[in-house]
Amino acid sequence: MLFNRNDPKTWPTYKPLIIAHDVGRSRDRSTAVVGGNCPIGPQLLGMEEFTELPPKLFGSARANALAATDRKYNSNAIIVADLSNDATYAESLCERFGSRVIGLHITRSGDGMNPESRQVKDSSMLVYKIGRSHLLELFHSELQADKVRIVDSPNSKRAYEQLTNLETELRESGTVYTCPPGQHDDLGISAAMLAWAARHPHLREWVRNSERSRIVRERKPAFGWGAFT
């Protein structure tokens, strides 16, 4: 397939591959959006797959469903996960994906720049706090600048509709975006999370940490039967 800058499915790779994972509440589906920066030419952000995970999944079952998407891309993605509603989910994610996970806490305020190192069992996870409005406006700026390429699919169209249907309210603190009653914004939020991660100044550090962890896991043992296989 010939490379086409406007079609992420033709890109040979992403720089790097990112899966953004919005975690739904009890009545919502959790979602995953797959993409990343274009490896060739001027920097573009591509979004290739928009997935709704099966409903009513929690903890390790939800992490395993996310892993099915990850495996389609050689289990090599940076996982950006929403921990706003379930901080304990970090344990299931770390057990499944290790140091590839970056946490995001979406709240009323925060610029998503300064992480908290959160202890998760025998490891730690970086968790960034970002305002919901700030997150959405970052994504909107990328779209307005024509820096985003999205594969056409029913779910990508649904994500776009979710974002355009958000209600806005002007307050002294800025614009507030809310989801109309009975509607969802999970796919749209995952897309915004991916855009945040792809443009983040710490992205290279996340990739280096992930690569170091992979090297340690794949290193052969010095003794025992594993040393001879």
Torsion-angle region of residue 210: left (phi > 0), alpha (psi -120 to 50) or beta? alpha
Question: Within 10 A of 47 (CB to CB), how many other CB atoms are there?
Answer: 25
Give yes or no for a contact between 149 and 45, defined as CB atoms under 8 angstroms apart. Answer: yes
Class of CATH domain 8-228: alpha beta
By percentage, how much of the chain surpasses pLDDT 70?
92
Can you list the alpha helix ranges (DSSP code H) found in the chain? 59-71, 89-97, 132-144, 154-164, 186-198, 203-218
**197 burial level (CB within 10 Å; 0-12, 13-18, 19+):** buried
Distance of alpha carbon 145 from alpha carbon 133, whole angstroms? 18
8-44, pLDDT tens digit by residue? Answer: 999 999 999 999 999 987 667 899 999 999 999 788 9
What number of other Cβ atoms are within 10 A of residue 220's Cβ?
Answer: 9
Is there a contact between 19 and 78 (Cβ–Cβ < 8 Å)?
Answer: yes
Q: Average pLDDT for consecutive 10-residue bins of the chain (229 residues)?
A: 92 96 83 96 93 92 97 95 94 95 95 95 92 96 96 97 92 83 92 98 94 60 46
Q: pLDDT digits over 61-74, tens only?
A: 999 999 999 999 99
Axis-axis angle for helices 59-71, 89-97 (nearest 10): 40
| Whole-angstrom distance, CA of residue 158 vs CA of residue 62 | 22
What's the confidence (pLDDT) of residue 229?
37
